Amino acid sequence: MESEPDFVINDQGENERFSVHNHHQFQQDVAFFDQKRRLRSETPNESSQLIRKRMRMNLTKFRAVFANRSFLVDTLTIFFGIGTWIGVNSLWIQLPLLVNVLPESWFLASYLVIIVQVANLGPLTYTLIQKLCPIRDSFFIYWLLTLGVAAAFVMAFFYDITAYFWGAERSIAFLGLVFCFALVGCTSSVLFMPYCGRLRDIYLVTYLIGEGLSGLLPGVLGLIQGVGGNAQCIPNEDLDDPKYVQYFPPPRFSTQTFFIIISSLFIASLIAFILLDQLKSVKKEYANVTISHGNKYEYNRNAENEEHKVNNETDRKKPEEKIKKLSVANYHGLLVLLGTICMFTNAIVPSIMPFGTLPYGNVTYHLSVTLSAIANPVACFIAVFLTGTSIRNIITLSITSLPFVIYSMTTSVMSPSPPMMDTIYGEFFVILSWTLLIGFGSYIRLKITTIFRYNDGKSLVWVGAWTQIGSFVGSVLSFIVVNYTGIFQQYNPCESL
């Protein structure tokens, strides 16, 4: 039998031999090298024209993304999303200043964690009301955002009011207003995002951007505010023990000013929602949906088929669609991992952070808190572009975060004398550990949620359940350990003078 002929294509004096197994393959090879020769034979002017043509095509595609949407609705939806957790996030940002003036001192963080969990009564109450007597969800949103505005404004003027209660001086006003902020945040999870369901699905992304800004904006505002510096020891003018007392330099602007700014952001969120709910131009951006019984949404899928046709074709090419259904072991393992991460990042870590950072100075605590708050939305933003959802990668990231968890826990338990105290290296490693700990936790949680999104049944319901279970267990555990065991000790730099 005669062998198949070999065809030789000369490219700039170098011979490349191709064995052609079939005629179709040969044609592809010839076409490839023809295109290669054409590209190399182009003059610089022709190449620049080709580049400009491609840039115009990319610009056209970029414009097409925004051509079929309303800039007004995007803006209003972002401000609407800001009103979700901005109250709770602002409290954490102010903790480095509040622990110095409120009677709970370093234990204040553990009170915040447990109050936030108690505020989950809000979503339960809302669900019960909708079961017994359905009411329009917009009514509840008006009420919640108004509560946020009032709580932020009152907090600005009465956060330091205390009263004697249960055998000790307590920050009654502050803790009560914390519950109001937490009620807004927890209930927004079952109200705000479902409300956006009446809008076309392209606006869900802008809502999530606003929700991310609810953590980013207070963090940036806190960095601008600062804490004035570390504590200074000055003589006690009362001539009583102790001989020296701590003096905390003032920040660039006060806690009162900070919460007034937060209340203005709440007002902006409330105005944005009023416009979303009332403007006729916004209603033109509604999806084909019928709303009944308070918050029940029924979509007309047939009418939406044309709108989603192009998106569906694109979605089929996405890597996430290739995710296989989880095995039973992986399913339960990821849920346990999710609950554990939420137990640490939502409860234990915030509760013990003062003990692990304040011995290094008030500035270290301030930077740890603010950078951790910023790390959360940044990690979620990165996750949008890193689309991989491999279980192996999730396990690898979880193991990678363990050293930061161990180091952070170690510095907290060893308070008031943690390692590398009074050194720049100690401050750097502490800030880095707490920030990366929160960043890794946020990223892993989002990736686990993404995996469960592509599994059938009540997968996302279980994700929400394990998130709450982990957070609740962590908050109760940390509150008891921090307040009643004596494991975590405060540090006073003036005691040894």
Phi, psi at 107, each rounded to 5°? -85, 0
pLDDT digits (tens, 9 = 90+) for 283-296: 887 766 555 555 55
Residue 5, token pair as written in the block: 């002929």
What tens digit of pLDDT does each residue of 82-104 get?
Answer: 999 999 999 999 999 999 999 99
The domain made up of 72-317 has a fold known as: Growth Hormone; Chain: A; (1.20.1250)
User: Is it the case that residue 325 has pLDDT exceeding 80?
Assistant: no
Residue 156: enclosing H or E segment and its boundaries?
helix 137-158
Taking a C-beta distance cutoff of 8 angstroms, is the pair 229, 249 a contact?
yes
With beta carbons less than 8 A apart as the criterion, state whether 244 and 235 touch: yes
pLDDT value for 235 = 82
pLDDT at 427: 93
For the CA atoms of 229, 233, 235, 241, the dihedral, rounded to the nearest 10 degrees, stands at 130
The alpha-helical segments, DSSP class H, found in 414-458 are: 424-453
- 455-468: average pLDDT: 75
Share of the chain above pLDDT 70, in %: 76
CATH architecture of 322-497: Up-down Bundle (1.20)
Do 72-317 and 322-497 have matching folds?
yes
User: At 231, is the pLDDT very low, low, confident or very high (cuts 50, 70, 90)?
Assistant: confident
Domain boundaries, the chain: 1-41, 72-317, 322-497
pLDDT in tens, 414-448: 988 899 988 999 999 999 999 999 999 989 988 88
pLDDT tens track for 234-268: 887 776 667 778 888 899 999 999 999 999 999 99
Global confidence as pTM: 0.78
Q: What is the pLDDT of residues 162-194, one digit of tens each?
A: 988 888 889 999 999 999 999 999 988 888 877
Per the CB < 8 A criterion, the answer to whether 212 and 380 are in contact is yes
How far is 147 from 131, CA to CA, in rounded Å? 23
Name 427's Cβ contacts closer than 8 Å, sequence gap at least 6: 360, 361, 363, 364
* DSSP H or E run through 37: helix 23-41
Residues 6+ apart with CB under 8 A from 383: 443, 446, 447, 450
Give the mean pLDDT of 373-387: 79
Q: Are 283 and 165 in contact (CB under 8 A)?
A: no
